[in-house]
Amino acid sequence: MPRRALALTASVAAALMLAACAQETSGGSSSSAPAPASSAAETSSAPATSAAPETSAAPSPTETPDACAKESLPLINPGTLTIGTDSPAYPPYFVDDDPTNGQGFESAVAYAVAEGLGFTPEEVTWTVVPFNKSYAPGGKDFDFDINQISITPKRAEVVTFSDGYYTVNQAVIALDGSPVAGATSLAELKDAKLGAQVGTTSLQYITDFVQPGSDPFVYNDTNDAKSALKNGQIDAIVVDLPTAYYITAVEIPKGKIVGQFPAVEGGEQFGLLFQKDNPLVTCVNQVLAELKDSGELQAIQDQWLAGEAAPYFTE
């Protein structure tokens, strides 16, 4: 073959070899390109993965502080729990006409509720609220009132009540020297002349629990029943226990509480009284539930309302 042909052939071969190398180089770059991309993706995803727990641990926009925390409570005077009751305040609900001493059933209950809300005794203030004014419509100058106030639908139209903290017992009052002054059982009451106000749970207790041999004496109001007792026309009257304490302490000092009947589940109850729709009642109800569950509320009741002055009648 001529030398020129050989030279051309060699040049063509060299060109083909260069083209092949270029293609391999280009192909190698394309095949290796995903690797850096994948590496970059891994690098960029690492911070996102590590940051996720921090994002999930952040407070949710919907989360709110504890509404029953002391600093969150809607109070008349910030930092102070203001409690109302009447004056004078009688035993056994208060002792020495002094609600601030923590003695007596309702004073003890008030301070137990205050403690459950996070208040010390020094952070509790008392204010005088006449009984009839407490459940009148309108604004209140107390956070809640405690004053043997029965929960009734009519009152609840203009004020808000807590859950009941005491189910009212019925009691028998007699004068010293009465035939039933020393009675300790229902059987000893069956032959007695018993009286009560018409339409009351007191009258119902006579008929349902005592079941006397003769019809009870029925009066238009408690004043008439008290007059009949003082005049010796009947042997005893039946009233709710709180009224019995008041009558024997103030109105008929010669009278005595012979005994009390066991409370009926779901019966008349006392409640703490709040201004209508006061949200504080929700937190107070939580505290009352805790006091009931722990037995503390019952212990307070046993200490102040189940003493020798008002023993329970036996069957």
Same domain? For 163 and 179 the reply is no
Q: Tell which of 225, 243, 260 closes a domain.
A: 260
pLDDT of res. 77:
96
The residue type of 195 is: G
Query: Could you tell me if residue 126 is inside a domain?
Result: yes
Between residues 273 and 246, the one the model is more confident about: 273
Same domain? For 134 and 88 the reply is yes
| Statement: the pTM of the whole predicted model exceeds 0.85 | no
pLDDT confidence tier of residue 261, bands split at 50, 70 and 90: confident
Of 167, 157, 159, 171, whose CA–CA distance to 202 is shortest?
171
Query: What percent of the chain is modeled with pLDDT above 70?
Result: 77
Contact between 248 and 260 (Cβ < 8 Å) = no
Between residues 33 and 306, the one the model is more confident about: 306
Same domain? For 80 and 163 the reply is yes
Contacts 24+ apart (CB under 8 A), 260-264: 260/169, 260/170, 260/171, 260/172, 260/310, 260/311, 260/312, 260/313, 261/169, 261/170, 261/171, 261/205, 261/209, 261/312, 261/313, 262/169, 262/312, 263/167, 263/168, 263/169, 264/167
Which residue range(s) make up the domain with 182? 170-260
Average pLDDT value for residue range 202-227: 93
Element (H, E) at 32: helix 3-32
If one counts the domains in the chain, the total is: 2
Same domain? For 214 and 75 the reply is no
Same domain? For 241 and 175 the reply is yes
Q: Measure the CA–CA gap between 298 and 311, rounded to whole angstroms.
A: 16
Q: Measure the CA–CA gap between 303 and 315, rounded to whole angstroms.
A: 23
CATH number at residue 149: 3.40.190.10
pLDDT of res. 80:
98
pLDDT of res. 164:
96
Query: Could you tell me if residue 9 is inside a domain?
Result: no
Average pLDDT value for residue range 248-266: 86
